[in-house]
Amino acid sequence: MSIITIIGSGMMGSAMARPAKDNGHEIRLVGTPLDNAIIEAVKAGKDHPTLKRSFNGIATAFYISELGEALNGTDVVLAGISSFGVDWFTENILQVLPKNVPVLSITKGMRLEANDSLQVFPHHFASKRPDLDFIAVGGPCISFELFDRRQTMVYYCGRNMAAVKKVKSVFETSYYHIIPSTDTVAVECSAALKNAYAMGVSLAVGLAEREKGVTDARGITGNSIPGAPDLNPVYNPQAALFAQSCLEMRRLVEMLGGNGDLVAGLPGAGDLYVTVFGGRTRRLGTLLGRGMNYSKVKEVLNGVTLEAVAIITRVAEFLRRASKAGKADLKKFPLMMQMDSILNKESPVALDWESFGEL
Amino acid sequence: MSIITIIGSGMMGSAMARPAKDNGHEIRLVGTPLDNAIIEAVKAGKDHPTLKRSFNGIATAFYISELGEALNGTDVVLAGISSFGVDWFTENILQVLPKNVPVLSITKGMRLEANDSLQVFPHHFASKRPDLDFIAVGGPCISFELFDRRQTMVYYCGRNMAAVKKVKSVFETSYYHIIPSTDTVAVECSAALKNAYAMGVSLAVGLAEREKGVTDARGITGNSIPGAPDLNPVYNPQAALFAQSCLEMRRLVEMLGGNGDLVAGLPGAGDLYVTVFGGRTRRLGTLLGRGMNYSKVKEVLNGVTLEAVAIITRVAEFLRRASKAGKADLKKFPLMMQMDSILNKESPVALDWESFGEL
């Protein structure tokens, strides 16, 4: 039996308790300063407020003020934070993590560095704690499906294959399948980009609805496959954008030194497939496609964190700088650049289809 | 203005009339011997019975007995037949097609030849009429969406790029985007395989429903995204199978000499994305996943032609023969071989997840 300390009690971090517990490990679930309501509920034996499942008998909950206790004797740390919590995690948590304990990171995103490079989070973390092994997760995984023991297949990746395999052995079960890899750039870059491109694919949903006169927020709820409930979905343009997304993800992964072939499997196409069908990014793209500008969409989705917006803004800026330096051709990323204009210049959604396709 | 003769008035062949007509061409729609009811309706000015749209002002309809008249002065022939009509087309139509007229083929499928090779249909047709240029279509395209002028992006491919571009110019519009290519093997192999693997992805839908007690045919209707209407869909296993499908499609395309990179774009991942969400193959996979054996599924779906079954049976047999000859490793195609067992040995759907993944 090992001790697993999960820091960050959002849906995905919390759900990872399930396979580890099924393998007989002790699970400690620590909330960030924003998670106090979740920790209070779990400590009281109530359902996890966002995952809407009980953690009784699965994990012991800790407030962030109890972090020291939660880290005492731990064997694996899971960094269960969103990209918006990276600075907090880097400044407050990284330095207090014990030595020789591998850190599994589920954070999706990339940083634009001062030298104009784009960096995946595991490499950022490692630059601050070079003594630790950071292992990142990529691939299609909806949190509550994992918690409910649905068949799930993902990548774990890191620079040290022995550490990757150690962490894999802690989490792998008969329903949670893990492919080990050392290509952190390909896996993490895909994991970040799929949020961006899920917005792109969803634009087609909203565009088709707009043609039928739907320009408001109807049908935009928390359920899967949101959309105007009285309309049949339209797939040809979604599929064309899905394919364009796969092309651009591949180009960016290869530009950053990763193996582009991985984009065609779980970390790219597979994860995009899952992300398109529900959640905030789908709602974002659908509303934009219906003709709402981004300021208005932010009001409608008020309070929802939009990782897609962060990653699109960052990648587009990276590409502009790289283009100026002669290191990138913006014509290879037309969908990314159009998404950036829609968000950051509030340009109307009028996709330039002729710019898409294999060149 | 050119004259376009469409032979076969199924949904896809018929829908291709729309972009060609929008470009100002004259369209002649010829039914096969099985299409008499469609031609009768269109001649009478009624809606096309399966596409459920009017062809008034778009195309002139012809019975197969009027083929000579329909071919008189034609500039482009469109072979609008399903894979089940290939022998009829080869034996009865190919030889009467005029010289120097390019033939656009929308038939998806592959032939297992006597020498144990797997051949795409355009190459089969060309072996019978080496004087003609055959151009094949691949990529995500639902027929009625094209007819309704939804944004659609596809590949046209053939050995002669000039002929490909000529046909492209006839059909390309502001909503129907065509990428020309000479890689017929990659495009057509993907187009055929996506039907097979759409069944594989759909198995996950049925498996998840079975866990909730759904073992009958409820919710299996003609609409998009069929499934038990009272259950939320489950995406993690679908996405894992989607990724595995992309991997196996790539391997087969490369084995047959095509460019595997195309599988990650429109002809593979893009077309699979569309095919998973509706139609007969989704219903087939869902029912099998729920635990119905194939004999029973055939009863439930009575009369529906299942291209997926034909292609799975043929590709699995091809792979077994290639494996015996030392030319293929069956472990690289675990999903294909499991699908073949489910259909042809009526094996229960118990997916071997450990066999999946990048090797």
C-alpha to C-alpha distance for B348 and B89, rounded to whole angstroms: 37
Q: Which residue has the higher pLDDT, A62 or B234?
A: A62
| Bridge partners for A105 per DSSP | A79, A136
Using DSSP's 3-state secondary structure scheme, residue A284 falls into helix
Residue of chain B whose Cα is closest to the Cα of A225: B233
Contact: A142, B278; criterion CB under 8 Å: no
- Nearest C-alpha of chain B: how many angstroms from A118? 24
Q: In the block, which residue shows the tokens 């979604």?
A: A238
Q: In the block, which residue shows the tokens 């679930």?
A: A29
Which DSSP string corresponds to B153-173?
Answer: EEEEE-S-HHHHHHHHHHH--
| Bridge partners for B77 per DSSP | B5, B103
Residue type, A255: M
- Nearest C-alpha of chain B: how many angstroms from A110? 23
Which letter does DSSP use for residue A111 in this model?
A: E
Give the residue from A60, A54, A93, A59 showing the smallest Cα distance to A77: A93
Asked if B250 is an interface residue toward chain A (Cβ–Cβ < 8 A), one would say yes
- CB contacts < 8 Å between A and B, how many? 175
Lowest mean pLDDT segment, chosen from A34-43, B83-92, B210-219, B299-308: B299-308
Contact: A177, B140; criterion CB under 8 Å: no
Q: Nearest-5° angle of CA B50, CA B55, CA B57? A: 180
What residues of chain B, 285 to 314, have a C-beta less than 8 Å from chain A? none
**Of residues B145, B153, B208, nearest to A150 (C-beta):** B208
pLDDT at A179: 96
Contact criterion met (CB below 8 Å) for A210 and A291: yes
**Of residues B224, B225, B236, nearest to A146 (C-beta):** B236
Count of beta carbons in the 10 Å neighbourhood of residue A28: 24
**Of residues B234, B242, B278, nearest to A270 (C-beta):** B242
pLDDT at A223: 55
**How many helices (H) and strands (E) are present in chain B, helices listed first?**
15, 10
Read off the pLDDT of residues A185-239 as tens digits, 9 standing for 90 and up.
999 999 999 999 999 999 999 998 998 899 998 887 765 555 666 667 789 999 9
Read off the pLDDT of residues A162-192 as tens digits, 9 standing for 90 and up.
999 999 999 999 999 999 999 999 999 999 9
pLDDT at A201: 96
Give the residue from B197, B198, B160 showing the smallest Cα distance to B181: B160
Read off the pLDDT of residues B255-266 as tens digits, 9 standing for 90 and up.
999 999 999 999
Contact: B208, A351; criterion CB under 8 Å: no
Query: What backbone torsions phi and psi does residue A16 show, to the nearest 5 degrees?
Result: -65, -15
- Nearest C-alpha of chain B: how many angstroms from A269? 7
Rounding to the nearest 10 degrees, give the CA dihedral for residues B97, B103, B107, B110: 90
What residues of chain A, 318 to 357, have a C-beta less than 8 Å from chain B? 351, 353-354, 356-357
For CA atoms B105, B110, B112, B115, the dihedral sign is positive
All residues of chain A having their beta carbon less than 8 Å from the beta carbon of residue B242 are 140, 269-270, 273
- Nearest C-alpha of chain A: how many angstroms from B189? 17
All residues of chain B having their beta carbon less than 8 Å from the beta carbon of residue A205 are none
Going through B158-249 in order, the beta strands assigned E by DSSP cover 176-181
Query: What backbone torsions phi and psi does residue B62 show, to the nearest 5 degrees?
Result: -135, 135
**Who's near B69: CB < 8 A, 6+ residues apart?**
B62
C-alpha to C-alpha distance for A319 and A322, rounded to whole angstroms: 5
For CA atoms B82, B86, B92, B93, the dihedral sign is positive
pLDDT at A344: 96
pLDDT at B225: 58
Contact criterion met (CB below 8 Å) for B170 and B78: no
Contact: A239, B266; criterion CB under 8 Å: yes
Asked if A182 is an interface residue toward chain B (Cβ–Cβ < 8 A), one would say no
Q: In the block, which residue shows the tokens 């909503």?
A: B175
pLDDT at B304: 73
pLDDT above 90 as % of chain B:
86
Read off the pLDDT of residues B35-80 as tens digits, 9 standing for 90 and up.
999 999 999 999 999 999 999 999 999 999 999 999 999 999 999 9
Lowest mean pLDDT segment, chosen from A215-224, B90-99, B207-216: A215-224
Q: Name which of A11, A174, A235 to mutate to probe chain B: the one with the most chain B Cβ atoms within 10 A of its Cβ.
A: A235
Region for B202 from its dihedrals, namely left if φ exceeds 0, alpha if ψ lies in -120 to 50, beta otherwise? alpha
Contact: B246, A351; criterion CB under 8 Å: no
A240: its two tokens: 């064309």
Rounding to the nearest 10 degrees, give the CA dihedral for residues A322, A328, A330, A331: 180
Contact criterion met (CB below 8 Å) for B79 and B89: yes
- Nearest C-alpha of chain A: how many angstroms from B258? 15
- Listed as ranges, residues in chain A with pLDDT below 50 are none
All residues of chain B having their beta carbon less than 8 Å from the beta carbon of residue A222 are none
Contact: B235, A224; criterion CB under 8 Å: yes
Which DSSP string corresponds to A249-268?
Answer: HHHHHHHTTS-GGGGGSIII
pLDDT at A302: 81
Contact: A246, B262; criterion CB under 8 Å: no
Which letter does DSSP use for residue B102 in this model?
A: -
**Of residues B142, B179, B239, nearest to A140 (C-beta):** B239
pTM: 0.95
Give the residue from A5, A53, A3, A8 showing the smallest Cα distance to A24: A3
Q: Which residue has the higher pLDDT, B359 or B315?
A: B315
C-alpha to C-alpha distance for B262 and B173, rounded to whole angstroms: 23
Using DSSP's 3-state secondary structure scheme, residue B181 falls into strand
A27: its two tokens: 């699970």
* Ranges of H-type helices in chain B: 11-15, 17-22, 36-43, 67-71, 86-88, 121-128, 143-147, 161-171, 184-211, 236-255, 271-275, 279-289, 294-300, 307-324, 334-344
Strand-strand pairing, A76-79 and A103-105: parallel
The distance in angstroms from the start CA to the end CA of chain B is: 53
Residue of chain A whose Cα is closest to the Cα of B250: A264
Q: How high is the ipTM of this complex?
A: 0.94
All residues of chain A having their beta carbon less than 8 Å from the beta carbon of residue B289 are none
Residue of chain B whose Cα is closest to the Cα of A231: B224
The gap from C-alpha B312 to its chain's centroid, in whole angstroms, comes to 13
C-alpha to C-alpha distance for A339 and A311, rounded to whole angstroms: 11
B208: its two tokens: 């998840």
pLDDT at B222: 60
Residue of chain A whose Cα is closest to the Cα of B355: A177
Contact: B240, A278; criterion CB under 8 Å: no
Residue of chain A whose Cα is closest to the Cα of B154: A240
Q: What is the mean pLDDT of residues B129-133?
A: 96
Using DSSP's 3-state secondary structure scheme, residue A350 falls into coil
Contact criterion met (CB below 8 Å) for B83 and B109: yes
Q: How many CA atoms lie within 13 A of B27 on its CB side?
A: 26
Q: What is the mean pLDDT of residues B298-317?
A: 89
C-alpha to C-alpha distance for A166 and B117, rounded to whole angstroms: 44
Residue B317 confidence (pLDDT) above 90 = yes
**Who's near B114: CB < 8 A, 6+ residues apart?**
none
C-alpha to C-alpha distance for A67 and A96, rounded to whole angstroms: 9
Length of chain B: 359
pLDDT band for B306, please (50, 70, 90 cuts): confident
Q: Name which of B144, B151, B152, B356 to mutate to probe chain A: the one with the most chain A Cβ atoms within 10 A of its Cβ.
A: B151
Asked if A278 is an interface residue toward chain B (Cβ–Cβ < 8 A), one would say yes
Contact: A353, B151; criterion CB under 8 Å: yes
Q: Nearest-5° angle of CA B193, CA A203, CA B136? A: 30
Contact: A177, B354; criterion CB under 8 Å: yes
Q: Nearest-5° angle of CA A307, CA A311, CA A316? A: 150
Which letter does DSSP use for residue B68 in this model?
A: H
**Who's near B240: CB < 8 A, 6+ residues apart?**
A139, A140, A151, A152, A153, A177, A266, A270, B204, B353, B356
- Nearest C-alpha of chain B: how many angstroms from A305? 22
Contact criterion met (CB below 8 Å) for A29 and A51: no
Q: How far is residue B136 from each of residues A108, B87, B157, B286, measured CA to CA in Å?
A: 40, 17, 5, 30
